[in-house]
Amino acid sequence: MNHDQTSRCTKASAVSAMWGREFRSYSGATLEQIPQLKKFSEADRFAMKVVSKVLPCRINQFVIEEQIDWERVPEDPLFQLAFPQKEMLSPEDFETMAALVKNQADEKTLSEAALRIHERLNHHPADQTTLNVPQLDGMPLPGMQHKYDQTVLFFPSQGQTCHSFCTYCFRWPQFIGASTLRFAAQGTNYLLAYLRSQRQVTDLLVTGGDPMVMKTESLARILEPLLAPEFDHIDSIRIGTKALSFWPYRFVGNADADALLRLLEKLVRGGKHVAIMAHLSHAQELRPPIVQAAVKRLQGAGAVIRSQSPILRHINDCPQVWAEMWRRQVRLGIVPYYMFVARDTGSRRYFEIPLVRTLEVYQGAVKQVSGLARKARGPSMSGGPGKIEVQGVAEIQGEKVFVLRFLQARNADWTDRPFFARFDPEASWLDDLRPAFGDERFFFEEEYAAMRSEAAAS
C-alpha cells in the first residue's frame, strides 16, 4: 500500500470512529416500543399494528430520530415513507385483519388471512418471475433477472432485507417470509458463468432488498471476480440501495465501512464504473450531516451516486418538492436519474397518482431547475414491455392523446419509438391506457403477447 492510500485509509478510520453508532430497528410487533408514537391515539397505533400484519414493517432508530420531523407528523413525508398507514389496505381488508388482531388470533390464523390479501396485491408485476428469469444450459437462475440486453440484475441471498422498509416498496414480497416469492441467489458461480456467456451484457445491478446490509467480504465475493480479463465486457457495476439516507453509518462508522470504501476504490481502479443507485424520495432525506458525510465518502472512493424514486401521493406529489430535491442532489454531486410511476403492486392504492398529474409534477419541477438538475428521466412506468416514458399530452388529428415512448424495451427495436394513447384523466398505469386513433392494439402488444405465451408454454 502506497503513502497516499495509507493516509486515505487512516483518515477514513478516524471519520468512522467519530460517526460510529449501533444499529437498532423496530418491526410491526414492536411499534408500541417507539416513544414518539405515544402522541398518537390508541386507535391510530392499533391501525399501524393491523397494517403491519399484512405489509412488511421495519423502521430503524436513525430514521426515527434523524429523518422524521415529529412536529409535522402525520403529514411529514418521511413518516409516511416509513410507518404503515390505515389506508394502505382496502377498507374490507383492514376490517378483516383488525377483527383478528382485536380478538387476539394466533399467528397461523393471522398469516393465513394476510396471505389471502397478498394474493390480490400482484406479488411480482411486469412478468418478473416469468419473462425476466434467465437460463443457463436450460436451467432457470431464480436469483437473477435479465430483462434488457445490456443489464443483468443479481439478488444475493444475504442482501434480501433492508435497514428500514419503504411503505411503497414494490419488492415487498422479499420481506414477508414466503421463500417461494423471494428472488435470492445462493453464491455467485451461476452469475459468473452466465455473464461469461453473455458478452452483450455491460452492466451488473446488484439489488435486493438492499445489498448494503451485507458485510463487505460478502460483496467482495460477488464483485472482485469481475476484475478478471474474462469480464472486460462488464463496464459498470451498479448497487441499488436506500442505506445512504436510511443507514448512512454503513459508509461512515460501521465496523467494515472502511473496507467497503476500499472495495469500491479497487473496482474503480480496475476500470469499472461504480454507480450507487440511491433511492431518494424527498430532499429531507439529505438534510442530516451524516448523510452528507456518507455522500462525500462514496464519491471519494470514485463511485458516482445516481438518484431515483417513484412519485408518490402523500410524499412528493408536488413540483416544488422535486425541484428542491434535484437542486440539493446537484449541490452534493448526486446525479438525478429517474422519476418513476409507482408500480401496480403492494400499497399502490395509497400512493398512486393519475399519469396526467405525474406529468404536471415532472414538468413543473423541470421548469424550476437548471440543466444540471434536469437529468432525471420520467415519468417512467417500469411495466412488462419495458420502461415507458410519459412525454406529454397533445392534440393530434383532433384527438387528445398521451405521447409515450420506450426508454428501455424487451425488444431493443422498440426503444425510443413514440406511440400514442387516448387521453384518460384517471389513468395511473399502462394497463389503464388504450391506443389512440381507433387502433385496437399498441404496436408492441402482439409481439409481447407472443413472448408471454412462449414463456408460459416452456
Q: Are strands 399-409 and 418-422 parallel, antiparallel or unpaired?
A: antiparallel
Orientation angle between helical segments 216-223 and 257-269, nearest 10 degrees:
20
| pLDDT for position 20 | 65
Residue with cell 434488457: 148
pLDDT of residue 124: 82
What's the angle, vertex CA 295, arms to CA 22 and CA 165, rounded to 5?
Answer: 55
**Domain count within the chain:** 1
Return the pLDDT at 423. 98
- Using alpha carbons, select from 216, 267, 263, 214 the residue that is nearest to residue 237: 267
This prediction has a pTM of: 0.92
**Domain-embedded: residue 353:** no
CA distances from 347 to 215, 356, 398 (A): 30, 20, 37
In this structure, which amino acid lies at residue 408? Q
Is 112 among the domain residues?
A: yes
Is 291 inside any structural domain?
no
**Would you say residue 34 lies in a domain?**
yes
In a domain, 432, yes or no: no
Dist. CA 311–CA 290, nearest whole Å: 25
- For helices 289-300 and 3-19, the axis angle rounded to 10 degrees is 160
Q: Tell me whether residue 95 is in a domain.
A: yes
Whole-number pLDDT of residue 1? 43
Q: Which pLDDT does position 19 carry in this prediction?
A: 61
Q: Give the pLDDT confidence score for residue 125 in this predicted structure.
A: 79
Domain enclosing residue 30, as ranges: 3-118
Query: Can you point out the beta strands (E) in 141-221?
Result: 144-148, 151-154, 203-206
Q: Are 427 and 354 in contact (CB under 8 A)?
A: yes
Classify residue 74: in a domain, yes or no: yes
End-to-end CA distance of the chain: 53
Residues of the chain where predicted confidence (pLDDT) is lower than 50: 1-17
Residue 172 lies in a domain: no
